[in-house]
Amino acid sequence: MKKKIIKPSILPGFMELLPRNQQIFNDIVSKITKVYEDNGCLAIDTPIIEKSEVLLAKSGGETEKQVYSFQKGKNNLALRFDLTVPFARYVAQYYDDLVFPFKRYQIGKVYRGERNQRGRYREFYQCDIDVIGKGKLSINNDAWVISLASKAFKAIGLTSYKFQISNRKILKGVFSELEIENINEVMILIDKYDKIGKEAFISELENFIGSKKSEYINKILDINGSNSEILEELFKLNIENEDFTEGLDELKNVNLLLGILGVEDDEFQINLKIIRGLDYYTGTVFETTLVGNEGYGSICSGGRYDNLAEKYTDNILPGVGISIGLTRLFFVLNEIGFIENYSIGNKMDYLILPIGDTLEYCGQVLNKLQEKGYKASIYFEDDSLKKKMSYANKLDVSNVILIGEEEVERNEIKIKNMSRGETRSIKYELV
């Protein structure tokens, strides 16, 4: 009977990489991690699976629709859809063991049952920074997490990106002044502004709140200019609503501190259309696009969540976080040619090629190289020298070490530099 062969495949919305690209992905992760750790963030790792009641305690609407949930025995379980909600649970659970303000980073996979489309994944890595306070948390932290994302982008060689920054309290205050009741619906609509276009937005907004109120809101959303000019125009509105004034003051402080923390003026822009779709943001919100490639959407986002942990504890735990969507970022960088030109600094230094019965000596050389901190390996297969050299070329090995019986007798190694084609022999002790 003919053997049935199952065609190898993966589900739509999941990413797998070939070794070179995986190496680049890991290098990007490593550089971002170093930035976070160098700036005082502590690593944590929460479970991929959480109790549904924990994960969905403060969600609803669009968020809940995207969650992968299942039952195991009597337990209702769900795959985490981001790293922030598990972090809130984590802080509430280990409250007495943590030092506040608690600054953490986490890199891990999350899952969302989104509609399958190019560049959007159902399983993807997030790379998060969060700061959570005990009872209070300075607005300065909102600028600080953005500044760390800026440092992370620079560390991997990105230069053309822009943080789009807003504060949800500003529009909340405007809606309150206009006595708009269906605030959430209007917020969701503004969040879709760039996707549906200005004309469709105006039409839908008028249907919600009428033409007069719609005209006023559009006037605010259309304010442009430099960051300082936008802030000035917003102050000129003279809206005395508490949410509005508080949000505007916070946005002004974030704008000022970003410069102090080394984020250049051309790296960020105030944009009141930024709302963030997740349900838990309360103040500062931000998204990030690659300049010239805005059509790919946001590669990094986050914001302030003053009430996220309220379902898990009576303690007041305000926080702010930012998340780099690593899988999406990698996809975009690959699309625009960035990955093709990405330089990896951790390729193999030496590949040892045994010729004849020299394996014991090769092992000694390998141990010596690794003791000195070099990346090295031995080619064990009984192939021709031509095939061995071809293998080294394909792996982009820096140097090949040829060890035959002659080298063993002389207590030497023969080193060939693969880029220059030069060959030299040196004493084993000098390796």
pLDDT digit string (tens) for 367-409? 999 999 999 999 999 999 999 999 999 888 989 999 999 999 9
Domain 350-430 has CATH 1.10.3720.10: no
Top pLDDT among 31 and 55 is at 31
Are the C-beta atoms of 166 and 180 separated by less than 8 Å? no
Per cent of the chain over pLDDT 90 is: 67
A 10 A CB-CB count for 430 gives: 8
Top pLDDT among 192 and 286 is at 286
Question: Residue 253 corresponds to which tokens in the numbers above?
Answer: 């402080």
Q: What SS3 state is found at 102? A: strand
Question: Which of 41-45, 70-74, 104-108, 323-327 is predicted least confidently?
Answer: 70-74
Residue recorded with tokens 């790379």: 127
> Torsion angle, CA of 334/340/342/344, rounded to 10 degrees?
110
Tens digits of residue pLDDT in 137-193: 999 999 999 999 999 999 999 999 999 999 999 999 998 888 888 788 888 888 888
Confidence (pLDDT) at 117: 74
Length of the chain: 431
Q: What's the average model confidence in pLDDT over 218-227? A: 91
* pTM for this entry: 0.87
Tens digits of residue pLDDT in 257-284: 999 999 999 999 999 999 886 667 899 9
Confidence (pLDDT) at 132: 94
pLDDT(318) > 60: yes
Q: E strands along 81-152, which residues? A: 102-111, 123-132
Go through 341-367 and write b for each residue having 16 or more CB atoms within 10 A of its CB, e for each that does not: ebeeeeeebbbbbbbeebeebbeebbe
Same fold flag, 19-335 and 350-430: no
Question: Residue 62 corresponds to which tokens in the numbers above?
Answer: 């669009």
The class of domain 19-335 in CATH terms is: alpha beta
In which element (H, E) is residue 354 found?
strand 350-354
Separation of alpha carbons 84 and 280, rounded Å: 10
Confidence (pLDDT) at 280: 74
CB proximity list for 226: less than 8 A, separation 6 or greater: 265
In which element (H, E) is residue 377 found?
strand 376-378
Confidence (pLDDT) at 192: 85
Question: Residue 119 corresponds to which tokens in the numbers above?
Answer: 């560049």
pLDDT(350) > 80: yes
Phi/psi at 253 (nearest 5 deg)? -65, -45
**Domain coordinates in residue numbering, the chain:** 19-335, 350-430
pLDDT(203) > 90: no
Question: Which of 149-153, 236-240, 255-259, 426-430 is predicted least confidently?
Answer: 426-430
Task: Provide the β-strand partners of residue 352.
Answer: 378, 401
pLDDT(239) > 80: yes
Categorize the per-residue pLDDT at 59 as very low, low, confident or very high, splitting at 50, 70 and 90: low
Confidence (pLDDT) at 61: 55
Amino acid, single-letter form, for residue 360: E
Categorize the per-residue pLDDT at 427 as very low, low, confident or very high, splitting at 50, 70 and 90: confident
Q: What's the average model confidence in pLDDT over 340-369? A: 90
Per cent of the chain over pLDDT 70 is: 97
Confidence (pLDDT) at 278: 60
**How much is the mean pLDDT over the chain?**
91
Handedness of CA 276, 280, 281, 286 (dihedral sign): negative
Top pLDDT among 277 and 22 is at 22
Confidence (pLDDT) at 304: 94
